[in-house]
Every structure is written in structure tokens, then in C-alpha cells.
Chains A and B, each alone.
Chain A
Amino acid sequence: MSKLTPSQFDSLAEQLNLVRETAMAKVGQKDASYIRRVITAQRIFEWSGRILLVLGFINPILWLVGVLSLAIGKILDNMEIGHNVMHGQYDWMNDKHINSKSYEWDIACDGDSWNRVHNYEHHTFTNIIGKDRDFGYGLLRLSNDFRWRVKNLWQFATYVVLSVLFQWGVSYHELAAERVFFGKKKQNRDYAVSHNQLKKRFFSKGAKQLVKDYLLFPLLAGPFFLWVFFGNLAANLIRNLWTSTIIFCGHFTGSVETFNEQDCVNESKGQWYYRQALGSSNIKGKRWFHILTGHLSFQIEHHLFPDLPAYRYPEVAPHVKRIFNEFGMQYNTGGFWRQYASVLKRIVRYSFP
């Protein structure tokens, strides 16, 4: 990671810090009202969805609309609300229900576990092979940093399965990496949380999800048990595919770079910014699209400024782009299909040695 000189790194840090501070200074009522509006919309989508599922017996179209509505509700909850609130973007509001400490989301993954793996490991050690367990999720080989194994031959199928079950993948992620159930326990790991606790939280959050979506609500619907059961299944599937696709587009497009552990010893803030920048890619789209991605379509800005309220990313993006240009750094962006194709290509490419 020596493409810039130390003084260039410093100047990069200075300029990006300035962008952050300027944007942060504007954060206020508008942002608070925005997130409350999104939460309100989420509640409306979720509950209209759940009601429409039952009304499917009148006309199956209603069921379909219900599935979509519920899926949108879940997507808003996971992306624009959950992900961003749990990043602490709205902690300054001092609202006891909208902050990174108390928020739990509608997904199988336990919020605290996600906070550890995602907020800490992934955001701190972004794309450092061996430290960022999000890189390929320990399942996919996405760069030459990993030795090729036979199982990589069918990793495209693994990818499809991962996408379909994405919420469970995210949920199981920390446990897998910690070898809680299978595999050799790693030595010298500094366990912040005991394995028993991880197991307990995994099962309790996971079980709640199952009970809720596949037992409680279907039972409440009485004779329409199956309508609701399959409606929830479909909505969860849509949510899983959507989130996994967006996240893969943010990190695993063809031109995203990886780093090794030595790169980040005594890393300066400028170098950290640099690594964040080259470890992420953006997706172009309309406003509704950005909201549904939780503004992870601005993955670059998100990685530079993870605690800036996400809907301000479009506002800072032009400045970030200008600064990247100035330092000759690539600002990786493109339309959805282009980025997605690039991801699929990368998965296929590294299936082979």
C-alpha cells in the first residue's frame, strides 16, 4: 500500500476529515425527522404486508402485494434502519429507542454479534485477508490470497445458497469463524464473548425468528395458516437475496482490492481511508433504490464515514470523488447490472486456480 507518499496520505486524511466534519456539522433535525419517517414507513409496509397475506384468499394478487410489502418492510428494517442505526449514525439524537446500543433488527442475527463482527472487524480491518472475516465469509475464494481448493470449483452454487439463506449466514458468521460448533479451535484468540454465550444468543434470536414467522403469525391467521407461512417465507427470501446482492456488489466487484496484514501495522488515518476506499464499490441508482439499499449503494462513503447518517452519503459523494481523482485513486462505481455482473465474474473466476 505504497502508491501514495506519506505526505499525500496525510493530505488525503485531512481533506476527507474536512468532508466528514462539514457534513457532520449539518446533522440535526432533518436527519432525526428523516429516520423517524423511515421507521414509520417501515411499520406501515410491514403491517400492510402481514394483513394482505391473510387477505390472499380473496384474491391471490393481494397475497403477492402483501409479500412485496412485507419484504420491503424487512428490507427497510435491516438496511436503512437497522444497519445504519447500529452503526451509531443516530446516537447523537439521544433517543432511547433509536441508538446503536438498544436497537435489534428483524433478522435471525443477534445485534450484538453483528456489531462485533461487522462494526469492529469488517469496518476496521476492511479487506485485510485474515482479519476481515467478511471477505468471502470464509466460504468463497475471491482472490488469489487464498489457496485454491477443490471445493472452490462449485463455489458458485455455494454463493447461491448463501444468498438464499443470507440472514442465517450472517447470523452464523461469528460462530463459524470462532469455530463454536465445528473445526479446530484457534489458539491464542482473545475471546471477547464466551462460546456458550454466542450459542445461546444465536439460538434464542434465531428461534424467535422461526417462531414468529413460521408459527405465531401463521397460527394467528387460523385457516389461512399456509398463506401466511409461505408469504413469510417468500418475503424473507426476497430480503435475503436483496441484501446479499447489494452487499456483494459493495465489496466483491472485480476491481476491489485486498490487503495483507502487514499493510495495516501502524497504519495512519490516511492509509486507513485509502484502504477503505479501494475495498469498496458503489452502485448508481435512483433515490428509492438508495433507500432500499440502506445507502449501501454508497459503500465507499459508508466505509469512509460509517457513522455519518447514511442518507447524507449522496451529498458527500461528489466531494469524495473529487478528492479521489486528485490523488489518482479509483472511485469504483457503476450501474447495478454492471456491478453485479462483475461480482458474478469474480466468483466464477476464482473458482479456478
Chain B
Amino acid sequence: MTSKQTSWMNKLSRLVFHHQSIKGYLEPVIQVFKPAWRDGAFRAKVIAVSELSEQVLAVELKPEAKWPLHLAGQHILLTVENNGRLMSRTFTIASSSEQALHQGIIRLVIKQNALGAFTPALNSVLKPNLWLNISRPMGDFTFDANLQNHLFVAGGSGITPFIAKLHEHLPRAKSPITLLYFAKPHQHLLVDELMTLADHYPYFNVKFLNRVEHGDVSGQLSDYPNHHISVCGPQSLYQQVASYCEQNDIGCASEHFAPLAWPSSTNINDSDGEQVEVKHNGKALLVDQAQSLLMHFKQKGIQVNSGCGMGICHQCQCTKRRGIVRDMRTGKLSDMGEELIQLCISQAVTEVELES
């Protein structure tokens, strides 16, 4: 359907069905025939799930035919239904677009975070033949084949875009590609696969590094003058590489994830301790955990809807884009991703981004 048709249909839908979109109106009906059919998302079927090492899953997915092909280095938003609840996270595709084109398969490599709410659930949720949702491929952390001498710097699970690029471009590479892979000792992912690639393609070179033995990344970089650097990994790694590049006036492609740290047990239990930053419709304020978000907003004179103040009426509801909040009635912590929360019974546990 063209976008004009869609918008016309949605207008009709609002008049006739009171629904923002016609697809939303029909969703539960279509799901009877097509599991996980969802407005605004693509479907994909789980082909295989395997454990690469402890707490690292490799998931093979077969996206539906109309899914637009990705470029190596891009990521998708993965949505699964976990016990009735839709949960979404972003993952980089760890396979080439060639494989997607010829075999119809993409692979995700997922490092499980024992304390998180999403990744540990995947073990029980992801089973072969399950249908789930993926977004169109996103991001521009892709490979420029016209450049010579690539230096890839990966940290931890930041290896995923690089493994996709290697699979995709090594067969045609005309100049060296070097990978510096940092991780905690013995926690490197995809080691065998990388070694096989290195054996097979003379242009490719990989070094498995850790900070304890090999020091910071900055010490390594000077060995590679005239290289085009791309970096993917935790914030700290990215910053070191970025400042090196700045000092030496060289460009640097990057993808860094700054995931919100899962709270330590101390700030979970702390009722009046540290303040955290809350962003509401783009405006930032500091709050503590002594009282509800609604109270904080009221004290700071921020206009929000509210009613009962006791978690009943949902007037104070707003969308949490990310961050963890605590339900003050039960003490339960929320998931990190996007969901609706009630301000009057929620306290911020980590940094939180809200929209109302």
C-alpha cells in the first residue's frame, strides 16, 4: 500500500473503528491466522537457537519475504512476547546480507545479562518455529569498501556488526582488515569463527585482547597509522578511541551503546540516597527515591495530569521510553524498555526518560 492509501485508510479507520490505524483494529483477527502479525513491524520465524558459550545465544531468524535486506553493520529492533508481554530490544545483525538474500536467514548473537529482564527470558521464549517481530534494518554503521586499510575495534558484544561486515566483505577485500577485539579474559565471543576467517582470508587479522594483559586500547592504536578506524563497544572504549582519533585528526566511524546500568543492589534498597536524572518531554530534573515521580513533578511545578494519587485512575499515566522504575505498592522493578507507567506510584531507580 502506498503511504497515501494508508493514511486514507487510517482516516476511515478513525471514523469507523475508532482506531488510529486499520491494521491495529484488525490485528487480533489476523493474528489468528498469522501469529505475531503486528501493525508496524515485520514478522520473522525462529529457525534455530544455540548456546555459543555460557550466556551467549546465537539466534537464526527467517524474516518474512517483504523485509528489506540489511547492510552489514545495521541493527534491528527485536520484539518478542514473553508471557503475554511484548518486550523489545535492539540487536545488531551478526550475519551478512548475502546470507539473508540467498538463504533468507539472519543471525543475532545475544549476550545475556543475568540481571536484566529481557535477555534471560529469551532462553525460555525463543523456540524454533516461533514467530516474532523485527523492525526494518536501521543504522549507518556500515562498511565503505572504497576505503583502504580498515581497523575494527570491538569491545565485548560489540563484535556483532564486525562479524557481519567480515562475512560480507572479506571475500572481496582488496586491502588489509584488522580487528582488535577487547573483552574480559576468556569472554570473547565467536572466537572459533573469527579464527577460521583469519585462516581463510590472508587479508584478515584478529587480535584477542584484554585490558589486564594488554592495557588500554589507546596503547594499541598507534600501531596502525593510516587505517580507517571503526569502533563498536561500551562507552568507555568508544571514548578512548574517539579521543585518539581526535588528537590525530583522523575520522572514526562508531556505534557505541550506553545501556543504562542495571541498578546495583545498593541503589535498589536505598530509599533516600542518590539522585537520578529524569527527562520529561526532553526537560531534565533530578529526583530522589524518597517519593513518587508525580510528587517530584508537582514540587518542581511541572504540569502533568493526575487524579487519585494512589494508582487507581491512570490519569497520571505516561510513556517511559527507557529506564527502570519501582512500583511503590509492591516494590517490583520495571523492565528497562518502553512501557506505560503511572507517575503517582513510580519511583525512578535509574535514569529515566518519560513522555506524556
A-side residues, CB < 8 A to B, are: 21, 24, 27-33, 36-37, 39-40, 43-44, 87-88, 91-97, 99-102, 104-106, 115-116, 119-121, 123-124, 192, 208, 211-212, 216, 269, 272, 306-307
Interface pair B313/A120, CB less than 8 Å apart: yes
Chain B residue at smallest Cβ distance from A309: B84
B101 beta carbon closer than 8 Å to chain A: no
Give chain A residues whose Cβ lies under 8 Å from the Cβ of B305.
192
Contact pick for B312, options A24, A29, A94, A123, CB 8 Å: A123
What separation, in Å, do the CA atoms of A94 and B157 have in the docked complex?
27
15 A-B pairs with C-beta separation under 8 A? A28-B84, A39-B28, A92-B84, A94-B86, A94-B87, A95-B86, A97-B20, A97-B25, A101-B340, A115-B313, A120-B308, A120-B313, A123-B308, A123-B313, A192-B305
- What distance in Å separates the Cβ of A68 from its nearest Cβ neighbour in chain B? 21
Cross-interface CB contact of A115 among B25, B31, B84, B314, cutoff 8 Å: B314
Residue B27 interfacial (CB < 8 Å):
yes
A39 to B28, CA, bound (A): 7
Residue of B at shortest CB range from A217?
Answer: B16
Docked complex Cα distance between A307 and B317 (Å): 13
Q: Which one of A28, A102, A121, A211 contacts B20 once the chains associate, using CB atoms below 8 Å?
A: A102
Docked complex Cα distance between A115 and B319 (Å): 17
With known contacts A32-B84, A119-B314, A124-B312, A40–B18 Cβ distance under 8 A: no
10 closest pairs, A vs B, by CB? A32-B84, A120-B307, A120-B313, A104-B18, A97-B24, A124-B308, A28-B83, A36-B28, A29-B84, A119-B313
User: CB-defined interface of B1-42 with A at 8 Å, one 1/0 digit per residue?
Assistant: 000000000000001111110001111110110000001100
What separation, in Å, do the CA atoms of A21 and B314 have in the docked complex?
Answer: 18
Q: Chain A residues near B40 (CB, 8 Å)?
A: 96
- A105 B86 Cβ-Cβ under 8 A: no
Are A28 and B15 interface neighbours, CB within 8 A?
Answer: no
- B338 CB-CB contact with A under 8 Å: yes
Shortest CB-to-CB span from A169 to chain B, Å, is 19
> Can you name the residue of chain B whose Cβ is closest to the Cβ of A269?
B310
Task: Please judge, given known A-B contacts A28-B84, A93-B86, A124-B308, whether A100 and B24 are in contact too, CB under 8 Å.
Answer: no
- Contact between A97 and B15, CB atoms less than 8 A apart: no
Q: Compute how far the CA of A97 lies from the CA of B15 in the bound complex, rounded to whole angstroms.
A: 16
- Asked if B351 is at the interface of the complex by the 8 Å CB criterion, the answer is no
Chain A residues contacting B84 (CB-CB under 8 Å) are 27-33, 92-93
Shortest distance in angstroms between B337's beta carbon and chain A's nearest beta carbon? 8
Asked if B85 and A92 make an inter-chain contact with CB atoms under 8 angstroms apart, the answer reads yes
B81 contacts A116, C-beta separation under 8 Å? no
By a CB distance below 8 angstroms, the chain B residues around A101 are 317, 319, 340
Q: Is the CB of A124 within 8 A of B340?
A: no
The CA-CA distance from A212 to B311 in the complex, in Å, is 36
Bound-complex Cα distance A36 to B87 (A)? 17
Q: Does B112 contact A (CB under 8 A)?
A: no
B339 in contact (CB, < 8 A): yes
Is A36 in contact with B15, judged by CB distance below 8 angstroms?
no
- Chain A residues near B299: list those with CB within 8 A: none
Instruction: Considering the complex, give the chain A residue whose CB is closest to the CB of B319.
Output: A101
Chain A nearest Cβ from B297, distance in angstroms: 15
Alpha-carbon gap, A165 to B345, bound state (A): 37
Q: Is B315 an interface residue (CB 8 A)?
A: yes
Q: Does B222 reach chain A (CB closer than 8 Å)?
A: no
Closest to B311 in A: A307
Task: Please give the distance in Å from B338's CB to the nearest CB on chain A.
Answer: 7
- Asked if residues B32 and A40 are in contact (CB atoms below 8 Å), the reply is yes
Min CB–CB distance A182 → chain B (angstroms): 26
Bound-state CA distance A44–B29 (Å) is 9
What's the minimum C-beta distance from A35 to chain B, rounded to whole angstroms? 8
Q: Which residue of B20, B24, B83 is within 8 Å of A29 (Cβ)?
A: B83
Given A208-B15, A307-B311, list of 10 further CB < 8 A pairs? A28-B83, A29-B81, A36-B31, A37-B28, A39-B29, A94-B87, A95-B86, A101-B319, A121-B307, A269-B310
Cα distance A294–B173 in the bound complex, in angstroms = 64
B248 within 8 A of A: no
B87 neighbours in A (Cβ, 8 Å): 94
Residue B103 lies at the interface, judged by CB distance under 8 Å to chain A? no
- Given A93-B86, A119-B314, A307-B312; A212-B16 close (CB under 8 Å): yes
